[in-house]
Structure 1
Amino acid sequence: MRFERALCALVLVGLAGGCTSDPADPAPAASGREESAAAPPAWTEPAAYTFTLVRGCDEAAPVGRYQATVKDGVVTGATRSGGPAASAAPSAEVDLGPVTGDEGEEIDVPALGQLLEMATTAQEDGAEVTTEFDQADGHPVKVSINVTDTPAGAECWTVADYKA
């Protein structure tokens, strides 16, 4: 839930900050799929699957890595891997937001269908969205959403170890 609120806040800040579009720029593809010579097959979310979600645009230093299990489009289990979960300082008497700043906040891991819906919604709201798909079966392998005017404002998710 906190992740959804944070993303909504980012979208609102981007819109309030004066997101504009240049009429000379071509409109983004309605599907949000990357254009390529050989388009990947259309992906349909399977009834059950597992994957690793890596959060962060810097592959050398990701913000978080999560192992997820999905059944019927809903994440039924997700655990942080590759490091301890962020935790509040013992002296913290109130919730002041993310434990280690925006970069350390734990997230509600989305199912891949939810991640694609989030990308579509952000694109419809004017964000710059890039989505890459697996060439073999069409599942999403990387999603980048930027609601700001700077490259550093992007939020990225990479999918690895996908098994249907």
Structure 2
Amino acid sequence: MVRLERALCAVVLVALVGGCTSDDKEPTFSEPAQSSSAAPVGSAPAWTEPAAYSYVLTRGCDPNAPLGTYRATVSGGAVSTAERVGAPAASPSASAEVDLGPVTGQEGEEIEVPTLGQLTEMARTATEDGAEVATEYDATDGHPVKVSINVTDTPDGAECWTVSDYQV
């Protein structure tokens, strides 16, 4: 839980520092290729986050090698349960006296799963801070289906989240 907060703080800090050294460019909005169930920002219906829903969140920009997949349930506007899917839960050795980082390695780091409202708010905040942000929405009800945030000057610096199995 704390790791996502730290990661988000790092994203915001990098965006702020990058904004201080930029050359007054307007934020860049880029839309990735749309899938048949996704719609660009202007054509998706407005989405209001329901108080209760479930979804699967995949973290990582490479669909063939995701960094983690999580099944989440939201109740009362907050994530009530989140479990990692497709990877065994790892735990540190009982003899470990110090925290040496994520027990599953950098690529398997556990995250605090955000609600879809929090995910869209992260994208909005990153955009305001000058990051390159791409968001896709479901054409049927407007919920987010993909968010990509890049606060670096390189294409490999993006952080991506894909939403599937959304059920109200």
Please classify the TM superposition score into its range, dividing by the shorter chain length.
Answer: 0.7 to 0.9
User: Deviations for 1:113-163, whole angstroms, at most 9, x for unmatched residues?
Assistant: 011111111111111111100000000000011111111111100000000
Identity percentage over the alignment? Answer: 64
User: Deviations for 1:56-76, whole angstroms, at most 9, x for unmatched residues?
Assistant: 000011110000000122000
User: Deviations for 1:21-61, whole angstroms, at most 9, x for unmatched residues?
Assistant: 564xx6556xx988849601000011210000000000011
* Gap runs ≥5 in structure 1: none
The aligned counterpart of 2:96 is 92
> What residue identity is the alignment partner of 1:13?
V
Secondary structure of the residue aligned to 1:79 is strand
- Residue in structure 1 matching 2:149, options 123, 130, 145: 145
CA distance in 2 between partners of 1:101 and 1:11 (Å): 24
- TM-score under structure 1 length normalisation: 0.84
What pairs with 1:21-100 in structure 2 (closer than 5 Å)? 21=23, 23=25, 27-28=27-28, 36=40, 39-89=43-93, 91-100=95-104
User: Deviations for 1:78-100, whole angstroms, at most 9, x for unmatched residues?
Assistant: 00011113433555321133334
CA distance in 1 between partners of 2:43 and 2:23 (Å): 27
> What residue identity is the alignment partner of 2:22?
T
Number of residue pairs the alignment of both structures matches: 160
Judge conservation of contact 2:27–2:128 (CA < 8 Å) in 1: no
* Gap runs ≥5 in structure 2: 33-38
The aligned counterpart of 1:6 is 7
- TM-score under structure 2 length normalisation: 0.83
| Deviation >6 Å, runs of 4+ | 32-35
Judge conservation of contact 1:70–1:77 (CA < 8 Å) in 2: yes
CA distance in 2 between partners of 1:102 and 1:15 (Å): 25
> What residue identity is the alignment partner of 1:127?
A
CA distance in 2 between partners of 1:5 and 1:39 (Å): 34
